[in-house]
Structure 1
């Protein structure tokens, strides 16, 4: 079953309690030694600094473990990515609290500092990656493919690097909906009464927040003005079309959320699962509201398994790792360069929902302002 990645604060308390109960176990980083011909993995800003990629692999295998949180196995194909990494390098991945949010990851880095159970690596919404870097929580690390990653998709020193992403999309059960919507404007049609849902509350859920941002773009707004998106959902509610039920695979299967606004890689991944249950789940990127967002990778500055953390990064940005994201319908950051050099899996790329044009991205300041505006206006718009 696919699990929407949580964007709530509840998991933070659980992680904090677990941390307190475990005590401060010594980190393996504290006793790690410099590899021959290189530096300590904990301070290495590249594989070359460890003595080369083979030395990095050797050091990571000696550590033997990698600790991650907030990586749902059905989100962007992380289940297969984790298994493939373990099989390739013989390193065990301890995956904790897969439904945790970016805020939970940041909290775990802070509260578990010096402990062996601290997360080695982080998969974060970009705003959290930027704020975490400002707080000095991450180690600079440039993967071997760093120069191929487009400008604007990475922090210059490698404190964080975007990895995969997707577009806001509209999923639709074509067995129950005669004409699946292809735009935000379509969603206001009377035929969709009580049917338009989202993957969560936009004040807590990243995908739902993106859905409102995309609605703003579709209705005369911009990265500087999310208000038209809030106004759109008020119109949707007033028309009787808005469905407050949060989308899950179970609600789709039961027919409770026949139309869902979500990331295209989530909606696209639902399609084969629902086909096995007799549903025909169609996916369209709205023609009038294209919004794209990427998630970022970072290495914990105090990672208990620093070599394994860096090897994990190398794997994710390798052609193998990037194609595994693609297999989960996520758009890898190296898609342009891999298309050029022929390392992209063309069959998988052809399965992505089709989108025209080049995506643009809001600045961190624009996102923060939009979140603040949404926090102050969403409940009134939907409950009024």
Structure 2
């Protein structure tokens, strides 16, 4: 009898994780971390598919998003969190009680070669895009400084010619900068990595709140070099005509897997499941380049808009380790290296 009850309980749990989604009306509140144009485009495409659902979204950087999710534990103002590096989602999962467990029927769409990377084994989050970390250099600035070349390694960023010319986001607010920090620690080891980050901080002119925020300062020529995800650089070059060149660290570069998760206590749970399912379809992931977002998709059946951005030397980036230490490393950077203060424009002054 007890065995029968156990089997029944397991069957009920499996059904709850994969049950079909029925709600197609009402409201859906989205915490959106990618750029606003993509957030807006996703809203419009989803509402076109489900016209009875009113999507309401707010754009927050990954650091802000995680802090908001943590502060609202058990009573979230958002239903689903879409976008931003996976280590923030790992940190949320590890804290417990923040994310809803959900096994989407559309996981069958995930690229089988990277399934274990893109899909959380406990089904708290799923990868929705991928992008590599890179350096961008203003070509006009290079022309004005004969003999200076675009950086090709992490060590190059410490050269005298780059002092006061580097812009990057802050790891306390942006997943881009945290990916940079974690990449350095994984490439160099923690002791040498933290020593490097202290030297690197002396080279930085300013920190921005969002990961892509550095782009406009390098594009305008205000500063020479920026550290960002390569797909954000492509946007500046192709869509804004910025005079920039992209280079990658020879030691190997880190990368992000942007993820999505339903928040525990979501007030519009069935609508959140609809978005979650839709976001891992070829239909939805083909929309990125339409809205000037050039990340690689995580599902099969979508052509890469810029395959060269992943045809680089990638490190064996440890998302689990990075996510587990995120708060610790953010605090260490702020307390021991740079506790930048943000002004009204979103620039974090040193």
TM range (shorter): 0.7 to 0.9
Q: Provide the residue aligned with 2:302 in structure 1.
A: 344
The answer to whether structure 1 residue 141 and structure 2 residue 102 are counterparts is yes
TM-score (norm 2): 0.74
1:329 aligns with 2:291: no
Contact kept? 1:159, 1:298, Cα under 8 Å: yes
The equivalent residue for 1:120 is 79
Give the secondary structure class of the aligned counterpart of 1:139. coil
Distance 1:108 1:377, change over 3 A: closer
Matches of 2:71 and 2:278 in 1, distance apart?
A: 23
Match of 1:129 in 2: 89
Say which of 339, 359, 377 aligns to 2:336.
377
SS in 2 for 1:303: coil
Q: TM-score, normalised by structure 1?
A: 0.69
Task: Pick closer, same or farther for the CA change 1:295–1:72 going to 2, 3 Å.
Answer: closer
Within 5 A, what are the aligned runs for 1:62-211? 63-74=25-36, 77-90=38-51, 91-98=53-60, 101-107=64-70, 109-110=72-73, 112=75, 118-123=77-82, 125-133=85-93, 134-147=95-108, 148=112, 150-178=115-143, 179-199=149-169, 201-211=170-180
**Pairs aligned (count):** 307
Which residue number in structure 2 is paired with residue 214 of structure 1? 183
Alignment partner for residue 262 of structure 1, among 221, 225, 228? 228
Could you tell me whether the CA contact under 8 Å between 1:217 and 1:289 is conserved in 2?
Answer: no
- Determine the C-alpha separation between the residues in 2 that align with 1:233 and 1:156: 33
Alpha-carbon separation, structure 1, partners of 2:308 and 2:41: 18
How far apart, in 2, do the equivalents of 1:186 and 1:99 lie? 28
Local SS of the residue matching 1:210: helix
CA contact (8 A) 2:31 2:60 kept: yes
In structure 1, the gaps of 5 or more residues are 1-38, 51-55
Say if 2:224 is the partner of 1:228.
no
Q: 1:34-85 CA distances to partner (integer Å, 9 max, x unpaired)?
A: xxxxx9xxx9422xx22xxxxx3xx332x2321112445447x333222221
Q: Does the CA contact (< 8 Å) of 2:131 and 2:255 recur in 1?
A: yes
RMSD: 3.2
Counterpart-to-counterpart distance in 2, 1:186 and 1:84? 43
Q: Deviations over 1:152-182 (max 9, x none)?
A: 4333231222322322211111122243222
Which segment drifts farther, 81-90 or 120-129?
A: 120-129
Residue pair 1:216, 1:289 contacting (<8 A) in 2 also: no
Distance 2:315 2:88 in 1: 24
Alpha carbons of structure 1 residues 87 and 351: separation in structure 2 relative to 1, 3 Å = farther
Structure 2 portions without partners, runs of 5+: 1-11, 144-148, 340-348
